[in-house]
Amino acid sequence: MITKTDALLSLRPGAEWTITEDDLIWNDQNQLRPTDAEVDAEVERLQVVYASKEYQRKRASEYPSIPDQLDTLYHGGYDAWKATIQAVKDKYPKE
């Protein structure tokens, strides 16, 4: 889940601020505080980006470990390794 904190970190990297409950306290003298509309828009944008990469998260959890991949390469060769990886890619295609 994308939070207001995520949006602030994205909008104003390195800025100094704190959030208590839902109140933003802006302490940075070098960067302007983003408006609530900017923060809300950034939360929505980041949610879209996160959702669009779900296939990557699913693939990462199902790819064999690096030692297992190396073992497949050693014992089965490149084509066997490629087939193992392709099976996961086919299960979770890019959208």
State the average pLDDT for the chain.
96
Q: Do the bridges between strand 17-20 and strand 23-26 make them parallel or antiparallel, or are there none, so unpaired? A: antiparallel
| Annotated domain spans of the chain | 4-52, 55-91
| pLDDT tens per residue across span 22-49 | 799 999 999 999 999 999 999 999 999 9
Residue with tokens 């949006």: 7
* Global confidence as pTM: 0.75
Contact 26, 17 (CB under 8 A): yes
Give alpha helix (H) positions in 1-95: 4-11, 36-52, 54-62, 66-91
